[in-house]
Amino acid sequence: MNNTLMASLESIGRTIAKIRAQRGLSQEDLAGIAEVNRGYISRIENGHVAFSVTVLLKIAQGLGIAPEHLLCETDNTKPS
């Protein structure tokens, strides 16, 4: 992966982890909602894996936010 893509994945992952923690969800909780395993959520949050739009949509739904909030660098963590 190139550096720009890696930085974007890391930023999205940090945003997911931050919002998940604010919502009081564990990685296991979010994994169940998104229908993936906990290890995959961990890799996403650490920016170590590229993931599908489908997974992004399921994560956003599980966090109760609009998907675009995960793609923005601003703090848009209020529920949609």
Residue 77 has pLDDT above 50, yes or no: no
Domain 3-70 has CATH 3.40.309.10: no
Name 20's Cβ contacts closer than 8 Å, sequence gap at least 6. Answer: 26, 27, 30, 45, 63
The 10s digit of each residue's pLDDT in 28-38 is 999 999 999 99
Q: What is the per-residue pLDDT for 65?
A: 96
Give pLDDT tens digits for 3-26: 888 889 999 999 999 999 999 999
Between residues 51 and 73, which one has the greater pLDDT? 51
pTM of the model as a whole: 0.86
Domain assignments of the chain as residue spans, ordered by start: 3-70
